[in-house]
Structure 1
Amino acid sequence: MATRLDRTQVVDTALRLLNDVGLDGLTLRRIAKELNVQAPALYWHFKNKQELLDEMATEMLRRMIAEYTGGREGGAGGAWQESLTGTCRALRRTLLGYRDGGKVFSGTRMTDDSYAAPMEAFLRELTGAGFTLRDAAHAWWTAYNFTIGLVIEEQSVFPEPGAPEERGPGSRDPAYDLGDRERRLAGRYPLAAAVGREFFGDFDRNFETGLRIVVAGIEASVRPLSP
């Protein structure tokens, strides 16, 4: 007797296939084939691909919460700056574990309230540090969108999933050949040629630099009150 298909099986299979075929190649038909069922069987659980992507993004978040709860990178329980940057680091590392993880996560809707408890704790930490709720929301929203945007750009250059330290010499998309870019631009646009290595060379450095800029901007513009 065949095992009854459930949402968890579908999502786990979709996340695994995502690493093989990417977002564009991920279809309900392909997932059904992997599960050895007919495509209509999936529509009992997901009406369309967007509903599936919403559940995949939610599962990514659940996994991140399970991994980092109680030991958030950057210093849980420390200064708000450490908590903000640590949470962004955890988010980036999680999304880099999935091919096109940034695109999948961006613009999707959570399918349950699993995000609420860590969000509540994080906002309490910021408001406890003297932020108004509005300023805390703006601080997090800015840092969050910076992280998502950078991951999307990073994964266009390095499409294979995995941590940055695991990247091999051939992991860069050939379309982002920095030497070729410099040769094409150097004659007429020397600054635009040189800046390519700053944009697309070291994403770890770019990410950490960007986080420092975001935090400095928050410190300069929001100025949390003494709790």
Structure 2
Amino acid sequence: MNTVLWHVKTRARMLELMADAVLSGIDYDGLPGAPLERAAELAGRYRRALLSHRDGAALVTGTYSAEPHTLRYADCLVEALLDAGADERRAAWTAWTVTYFVLGLTQEEQAAPEKSDDRLARAVDTTGHPALRRVLPHLTPENFDQRFTFGLRSVLSGLLV
């Protein structure tokens, strides 16, 4: 532990470096040429990098890393959004929105109970939560991929509004 503290002075700094290491798994080869497709693919690769590490999303969510892998991902995403015709402000804010969405959904996915866990179904009763009861089949752990695609399309479709 003393050796680690010699090189990395604080716990926060260690977490920043670990978060950046998670993003080192993003592959930038073969990205689509169309800007919005490229942005969507980058978000998907970001999600896969987070999912490839136990609690990867929770680790990255808790840091503010201005490190090489984090900056490369952000730069590529912003570039795709600028290439899609967004002005600087909209590109920056959309990049944040995409990043927050991916982090939040992936963190939930990594913390989700087993598919056989029916706590949510038991907790959502028909008298106290009628709207949730109606949509319950769409809130199950097995549809994270579909929720990711839907949410990402929703965010990106509003880019040029």
**Match for residue 211 of structure 1 among 149, 152, 161:** 152
User: Deviation string for 1:93-146 (max 9, x for gaps)?
Assistant: 110111111110113133533444454444344323322111111221111111
Separation in structure 1 between the aligned mates of residue 61 and residue 18 of structure 2, nearest angstrom: 11
Q: Which structure: larger Rg? A: 1
Q: Residues 133 and 182 of structure 1: is their aligned pair in 2 closer, same or farther, counting only changes over 3 Å? A: same
Report 1:1-227 matches (<5 A). 39-64=1-26, 68-72=27-31, 75=32, 77-78=33-34, 80-110=35-65, 112-157=67-112, 172=114, 177-178=117-118, 180-188=119-127, 189-201=129-141, 202-219=143-160, 221=161
| Equivalent position amino acid for 1:69 in 2 | Y
**CA RMSD for the aligned pairs?**
2.4
Among all aligned residue pairs of Structure 1 and Structure 2, give the percentage whose two residues are the same amino acid.
28
Q: Residues 132 and 95 of structure 1: is their aligned pair in 2 closer, same or farther, counting only changes over 3 Å? A: same
Offset of 1:83 from its aligned partner?
1.2
Is the CA contact (8 Å cut-off) linking 1:182 and 1:194 kept in structure 2? no
Separation in structure 1 between the aligned mates of residue 39 and residue 8 of structure 2, nearest angstrom: 34
Separation in structure 2 between the aligned mates of residue 119 and residue 81 of structure 1, nearest angstrom: 15
Offset of 1:89 from its aligned partner?
0.4
| Equivalent position amino acid for 1:208 in 2 | T
Determine which structure has greater relative contact order: mean sequence separation of CA pairs < 8 Å that are 6+ residues apart, divided by chain length.
2
SS at structure 2 position matched to 1:99: coil
Q: Residues 190 and 124 of structure 1: is their aligned pair in 2 closer, same or farther, counting only changes over 3 Å? A: closer
TM-score when normalising by structure 2: 0.83
| Equivalent position amino acid for 1:199 in 2 | L
Is the CA contact (8 Å cut-off) linking 2:22 and 2:49 kept in structure 1? yes
Aligned length: 159
Q: Residues 151 and 62 of structure 1: is their aligned pair in 2 closer, same or farther, counting only changes over 3 Å? A: same
Q: Residues 120 and 152 of structure 1: is their aligned pair in 2 closer, same or farther, counting only changes over 3 Å? A: closer
Q: Which runs of 5+ in 2 are unaligned?
A: none
